[in-house]
Structure 1
């Protein structure tokens, strides 16, 4: 019923062209709904009634052959009726593929391309029959939570999903990670990149109009080009050094919990750093552009970035968690302690439990605005917790 697979790779499109390879299911969770989904008194009374009826037929008047035949027919009818009563009458499934999400019920299938998913929600309580409103599809099931998906066109899809199933939880986490809105600093970096790209295009156009002939400008172009290429390579190296230094905070939860100010754009030094980071990223080119405005603009942006990073990191390390309230400081300390326990856990179940507790505390810190960790960091902690708990359960069984 449940089909495990590896986590999907990043995908920017959901192509269905004839040349595209067949899509592979990563996770599929099915719910088979029976008339008697849980044991009830009828599960016992039905067989007793069948046996009692057969005995009654055997005690009636008539030949022994007639009595046995009547009892046999009665038992067969009762067996068929009981199996029909217990037979699943509806199958609901949620499938996550490499490029799309599939919701289906008894052959009624709806497929949504992953890049088109704008929002993912899970009902806080199991479905009890309430009206879900207008939707492209509505496949709820009483007693199960409902997955709500909204695409970029505003269309809504509802489907029951079993959150007690580890693969159901992975589907939800994967969808949330993909549809997660940009954080303020991510949006800021995007705006800066766009602005820098426009400015670079304008500067390049102006340079083309005023450029002098190469021969009059540079009598010995080869050494000049080599010098500029070397300076360009130095700028690229310095840019990479800053990216590597900052990347440590994005990938190490313990480091980020010690210095949360490094991603808090309400702090001036951090905001200046992200502005410089976005501008340098927008001006960076894959190949050396030669001497000119593109070359000078990028080198200048890297110098600004280097200075901004030094100030932002020094400020964040100096602040630590002192700017947070006492309750938030205690939560951060507790989350860090749990993450360290997870690293030294003796079993997978223990490790998964520590990671899950840490993730719950981090969610509270995010909700209160105390920290703004990269969404993928939270997703990876949740994923690691799920993998560890699943492995632990397999070991114990």
Structure 2
């Protein structure tokens, strides 16, 4: 039996040795291959990231502005209307206001527009005075011009509001007797304007002025000085009917 066990031991011993050698070879290959694989993977990831960032820069993806891109300039600030236009608008307003103040018939039909105790009329008179104080013959400095333009805007709005209020009020704030007197004065002025007879015209003006004086003394009508002067001149025959 001894002769049989020796060869078997050799065979078993040789197999173990071969197995150990195979393990050693595998360990050596793993020790060499793993760093190579890691290096290759790292290089691949770096290359992938570089390609991705380049694509993002080209496409302008959110969060990454393309190289060399410039943002648009902010929108310009609103510019107020030019000063010459504001002057022209204020001239038209002044003419419209003067036409009212110089016409006794308009004052009698819209008495609230001549009464500064009416809130809307008082606001207009203040706004008109402010614009008039800022008005200049030559173009002023930019700040002054802007203030004038704004004042003209306010005066125009106040004028429209005052006229609308006067149209609504008309003679509603007067007593029946006062309304009757105002209506009689309007008829007399209409007769004086339309009459072809100088005597009739002058008589109608004289009677209208007498009735109007009573209304003014009672505080019913606030006749502007310009309207009163026009009425006096017409009553003296200085102006054509």
After TM superposition, the score normalised by the length of structure 1 is: 0.39
Q: Equivalent residue for 2:191? A: 341
Deviation at 1:276, TM superposition (A): 0.3
* Superposed displacement of residue 381, structure 1: 1.4
Mind listing any 5+ residue stretches in structure 1 that lack a counterpart? 1-226, 389-397
Where do 4+ consecutive residues of structure 1 move more than 3 Å? none
Task: Kindly provide the CA deviation profile for residues 351-379 of structure 1, in whole angstroms up to 9, marking residues without a partner as x.
Answer: 00000000111111111111111123222
Q: CA deviation at 1:383?
A: 2.2
The correspondence of residues 72-87 of structure 1 with structure 2, limited to 5 A, is none
Q: 1:367 aligns to what?
A: 217
- Equivalent position to 2:126, from 275, 281, 286: 275
1:258 shift after superposition? 0.7
What's the secondary structure of 1:387's corresponding residue?
A: coil
In the alignment, the residues of structure 2 paired with residue 256 and residue 376 of structure 1 have an alpha-carbon distance, to the nearest angstrom, of 11
TM superposition shift of 1:380: 2.3
1:196-275 alignment runs, 5 A limit? 231-275=82-126
2:179 to 314, 321, 329: 329
TM-score by length of 2: 0.63
Instruction: Tell me the alpha carbon deviations over residues 238-271 of structure 1, each in whole angstroms, 9 at most, x when there is no partner.
Output: 2122212222211221111111100111110000
RMSD of aligned C-alpha atoms? 1.8
Q: C-alpha separation between the residues in 2 aligned to 1:263 and 1:238?
A: 22
Provide, for residues 135-192 of structure 1, a one-character-per-residue CA deviation record: whole Å limited to 9, x for no partner: xxxxxxxxxxxxxxxxxxxxxxxxxxxxxxxxxxxxxxxxxxxxxxxxxxxxxxxxxx
* Larger strand percent: 1
Count residues with an aligned counterpart: 161
The answer as to whether partners of 2:83 and 2:146 remain within 8 angstroms in 1 is no
1:311 to 161, 183, 186: 161
- Between 1 and 2, higher relative CO (CA 8 Å, sep ≥ 6) is seen in 2
1:46-90 Cα deviation digits (max 9, x unpaired): xxxxxxxxxxxxxxxxxxxxxxxxxxxxxxxxxxxxxxxxxxxxx
In structure 2, runs of 5+ residues without a counterpart are 1-78
Q: Quick check: which one's helix share is greater?
A: 2
Name which one, 1 or 2, has greater alpha-carbon Rg: 2
1: CA distance between counterparts of 2:197 and 2:229?
22
